[in-house]
Chains A and B, each alone.
Chain A
Amino acid sequence: MNALHHVLHAFFNLHSFTLAMPDVWAGFQLNLKMMAIAEVLVLVLALAIAIVRGLPGPGARPLRALAIAYTDFFRGTPIIIVAYFIGFGLPGLQLGFISKQSFVTYGIITLTLVYSAYVTEVYRAGIESVHPSQRAAARSLGLSYWQAMRYVVIPQAVRRVIPPLLNDFVGLQKDTAIVSVIGVTEAASLAQQFSNNNGDFPSLLVAAVFFILLTIPLARFTDYLVAQRERRERAQAF
């Protein structure tokens, strides 16, 4: 009984919890920043790679191969290793501008590279789910390949993949904590420092609460979109 009391006290100490809050909150703002920038970059980069991967014809084969190699590499490599490569590799390469960025920027680059590989697959599934007859209809009207993609295929594809895409973003938000390994003082690392200094753990709980509070609205919003689509599809069936 004494042991349990000890553990409970170590994790759920309200005083310590309140004390850790300002520090962890300061770090969490970095998580928010990295998350927001990376998500925008992922949306753009992943779509570009998905489109390259779907390019038709034998001439585009090298480009398609490159896109496949990209997704294979960044989906297969643990994010913590990518973070080390980017955070410690790029500065060491002495590539001028590229090697003089902050750790936060390297963190954003890491998140963007890794999550673009996932989201590329999501986009690709969406593009392939648009029935070929839609493309045929667009092309038969005289629209070019790119115009058919831009106005007919991609708008429908993106609409369909918003829920799984948001799901990947939940993962991205949490993984902003992982890039602390290259020296980004974000919420999780500050919580850990606080915990080391104080000899207890409520600061980690604070970080957990922040992440959860960020995720829940996104998860509910995703649920809402899925339900809305089901309603529409049911209405269409009658």
Chain B
Amino acid sequence: MSADGNGAAPFVDVDSVCKWFGELQVLDHVSVQVPEHGVICLIGASGSGKSTLLRCINMLERVEEGAITVDGQCLTKDKVDVNAVRKKIGIVFQAYNLFPHMTVLQNVMLAPRKARGVPRTEAEWAARTLLSRIGLEEKADEFPDRLSGGQQQRVAIARALAMEPKLMLLDEITSALDPQLVSEVLALVRELADSGMTMILATHEMAFAREVADKVCFLDGGRILEEGPPEQIFSDPREPRTREFLSRVLAGGRMH
């Protein structure tokens, strides 16, 4: 799981990406590399650009400058099959965004059936297998509003996994959860990391970032101010801004 060293091209290569919302520059020459099976955590205050970066990698936002390459395919050229790229990249959002008019099972089955053309019985079998893996097989026929936040977020992860992505983007997926529901979601993410899934996480869970990340990037004002192995970032941050951010977060009790 350790980062680089074998000389192969990184699985995700974000190269000097810039992005503006009107006048406001939200990403300022951001560069990140993620090796295959690597886990990168993005930390930083709200509005520092973590979510925007993830949305750019999934092409939900357009990049104005720079290049993003995933699995050898450049996403920032003009003619890219967006839908084909997205089938390889799963994203999970802070607000779950499950489809409220569908059952849990239908949520998980929809994309495999419609975007990949998997036959119904096969898709259903795969979806039920996934749901039992996350411990929610008995909720298959419930609607999302009958589930707790933690359960909904686990379903959202399963829904993304159903497309068998090679990269998972997790955008502050525990931020909307009650504290007692956070651990069940993190346990699932830990399991994904252990299974070798390549992941980029935007998170406020510093203890978790320290545990699962190969590399931590601190974003501040749309720039990556500091990056390095979690031990270094959390124990011996070089930048004053990083130190300041971490002390504020730790004072908020997010570390333990």
Contacts and interface: CB of A to CB of B under 8 A. Distances in A.
B101 interface: yes
B97 interface: yes
A134 B60 contact: no
A139 B110 CA distance: 12
Contacts of A140: 58, 60, 86, 89-91
Contacts of B89: 140
A197 interface: no
A151 interface: yes
B115 A133 contact: no
Given A151-B110, A236-B145, A142 B60 contact: no
Contact of A141 (B100, B145, B163): B163
A147 B115 contact: yes
A129 interface: no
B101 A155 contact: yes
A137 interface: yes
A135 B145 CA distance: 18
A61 interface: no
Nearest to A140: B91
Contacts of B87: 141-142
A152 B111 CA distance: 11
Interface in A132-160: 133-134, 136-144, 147, 151-152, 155-156, 159
A142 B99 contact: no
B86 A139 contact: yes
A141 B100 CA distance: 16
Nearest to B86: A142
Nearest to B114: A147
> Which among B60, B89, B90, B101 has the highest number of chain A CB atoms within 10 Å?
B101
Interface string B228-251: 000000000000000000000000
A44 to B, nearest CB: 21
Please report whether the interface of chain A is mostly helix, strand, loop or mixed according to DSSP: helix
A165 to B, nearest CB: 17
B64 to A, nearest CB: 18
B60 A144 contact: no
B60 A136 contact: yes
B83 interface: yes
Given A151-B110, A155-B101, A156-B101, A142 B83 contact: yes
Contacts of A141: 86-87, 90, 110-111, 115, 159-160, 163
Contacts of A155: 101
Interface in A155-187: 155-156, 159
Given A136-B60, A140-B60, A159 B101 contact: yes
B93 interface: yes
A136 B97 contact: yes
Nearest to B113: A151
Contacts of B93: 133, 136-137
Contact of A137 (B99, B115, B116): B99
A149 B58 CA distance: 19
B97 A142 contact: no
Interface in A107-143: 133-134, 136-143
Nearest to A150: B114
Contact of B111 (A134, A143, A159): A143
Given A133-B97, A138-B99, A151-B99, 5 more contacts: A141-B87, A142-B83, A142-B86, A142-B116, A156-B100
15 contacts: A134-B97, A137-B93, A140-B58, A140-B91, A141-B90, A141-B110, A142-B84, A142-B87, A142-B163, A143-B110, A144-B115, A151-B110, A151-B114, A156-B101, A236-B145
| 7 closest cross-chain pairs (CB), A and B | A142-B87, A141-B111, A137-B97, A142-B115, A142-B86, A140-B91, A133-B97
